[in-house]
Structure 1
């Protein structure tokens, strides 16, 4: 059985989108290949893989370089994250070198293609991430609350402060704000604690396991993603496949997931605009239904069987080409 190694600097304890991608891809490939996930790769870390998949151009740069030097004929796939596309490949030499060393570049949404240097676009392809459907949980009889959820570790790229500030600007007494994610930046954790102390409608739940976070999302009325940069957020997919409308910062990564004509965008970092959008969701049920319909129209892109087929097609064809080249 041929071997595939997935290099993911984020492992299970990180509980983030990159780890979820690595886990899904390993699950998709395991029936056909011997797959392992590792934080890096060196010639002494075990059996040599026939194909290397690296997540994150900058953080996996050393592993990708080492593998390329040791096994130049073996296929190498690089999955580009948001910080890769919208920051690192433009100002970090190691991240830029990873683009050259990879044989295939995988993007998680279409808008990212424009961020690649022109000479690398021909070897790029889009593979949409996926999530199994988990139906939205209806309100209990008599429950007039409206819950906005934000899911993602508290770090600057996710801009959690905009969600906290918007929560305090919303005047509706039945609004509830659930914030899930560990404080990777201690100062942001302090801000979350202060927000919870100032407004009992806001609850910071800290880091939850994936199943618990997914259930909290399914119990919500809308999901907020306020990020400054995204490669293709899996939490958007999980919201869409639960019928939960999304309020998203107006960035390329979110537009690539939800579509250019989506009506639920707000300007990056604009807490008053987000608060106004939240108020509109609660007051205008026709608007909320329109957001749900627009999200539902994207759901077919995020089907697990579609992602699995795309991943298997990629790996199968690369390994077939490799074998043909060695015969």
Structure 2
């Protein structure tokens, strides 16, 4: 099929939506489809439309439905769609959900957080990542510098990006934990906050935005990753950590629990740097706890393989085509 995929993230962007669009493009083309990834829709014809982000893509979705009402439409739901925009901007966000022939959710708890009437058209898709072979060996100089904890993702409110840094301030003097944060600041205020945190917190270093190979080296150098988000639609960095065998301590939000499972041992309450500090110290001081987390993420790695993600994309395509044919 000829597919047009719309994302708000521009070419070259390291935003999650762009990475998702480009990965889906490769997977769908591998399955024999023809895919065009665009940031603006100009009325072109195709067999199926895929829109990443219900709220940000609503203009294109309205145009698609006006120009081609008989074409299948798939809408992929982001964390801000589910946990922010459907409440702040319900008219536009729910319009996109309503008009979609199929919805893609990126963790297994999405169904409980969107209107029940959409459950029959929801497909759960776990984003994939490369396996351990894609990651380099740790760099001895950094590995010997302390117990490395990485935080990866754009610096912004939804990610609560400095929570691990705040937790590091509370650690006992005998801790060797170092927090390494990689990501582009959302604005000048976030850049200023990160720079000020480095000045006052000897356990914290902000690395800025890294290239993919640099990010993988950072993960290889780290003993642990922190996912401190207050909302997530299903962060791909969780997939990457599981496939790399990197243990995580994650906020107990649906977007993390829906990927790691209710039985995962590494959750902390949102915005709670005190509990996070206690868990970080426990991971550093008690190898059995760290080994438990590592065993759990390694067991979950099979969820996040490309073959499974490709099969979920095909499931969404088939569902959209079927529901569209019934609708028209």
Task: Tell me the equivalent position of 2:104.
Answer: 106
Give runs of aligned pairs for residues 126-275 of structure 1, distance below 5 A. Answer: 126-134=124-132, 137-138=137-138, 140=140, 143=144, 145-171=146-172, 172-275=174-277
Q: Secondary structure at the match of 2:302?
A: helix
Q: Any idea what the Cα deviations from partners look like across 1:24-73, whole Å, max 9, x if unmatched?
A: 10001124122111113121xxx422111001111001111110111111
Q: Is the 8 A contact 1:6 1:36 kept in 2?
A: yes
Counterparts of 1:322 and 1:229, CA distance in 2: 31
Counterparts of 1:284 and 1:182, CA distance in 2: 33
Distance 1:182 1:309, change over 3 A: same
Counterparts of 1:299 and 1:35, CA distance in 2: 28
Counterparts of 1:158 and 1:144, CA distance in 2: 26
Say whether 1:21 aligns with 2:20.
Answer: yes
Q: Secondary structure at the match of 1:52?
A: strand
Q: Is the 8 A contact 2:121 2:319 kept in 1?
A: no
Distance 1:317 1:250, change over 3 A: closer
* Mean Cα deviation higher: 83-92 or 132-141: 132-141
TM-score for the superposition, normalised by structure 2:
0.92
TM-score for the superposition, normalised by structure 1:
0.92
Q: Secondary structure at the match of 1:298?
A: helix
By relative contact order (CA 8 Å, sep 6+), the higher-ranking structure is 2
Counterparts of 1:147 and 1:205, CA distance in 2: 13
Q: Which runs of 5+ in 1 are unaligned?
A: none
Q: Is the 8 A contact 2:170 2:277 kept in 1?
A: yes
Say whether 1:37 aligns with 2:37.
Answer: yes
1:320 is displaced (CA, Å) by: 7.8
Q: Secondary structure at the match of 2:4?
A: strand
Q: How many residues align?
A: 322
Distance 1:323 1:89, change over 3 A: closer
Q: What RMSD, in angstroms, separates the aligned Cα atoms of the two structures?
A: 2.1
Q: Which runs of 5+ in 2 are unaligned?
A: none
Distance 1:313 1:193, change over 3 A: same
Counterparts of 1:75 and 1:143, CA distance in 2: 54
Q: Is the 8 A contact 2:103 2:316 kept in 1?
A: no
Segments of 4+ moved more than 4 angstroms: 316-326
Counterparts of 1:212 and 1:12, CA distance in 2: 20
Task: Tell me the equivalent position of 2:63.
Answer: 66
1:316 is displaced (CA, Å) by: 5.3
Q: Is the 8 A contact 1:249 1:268 kept in 2?
A: yes
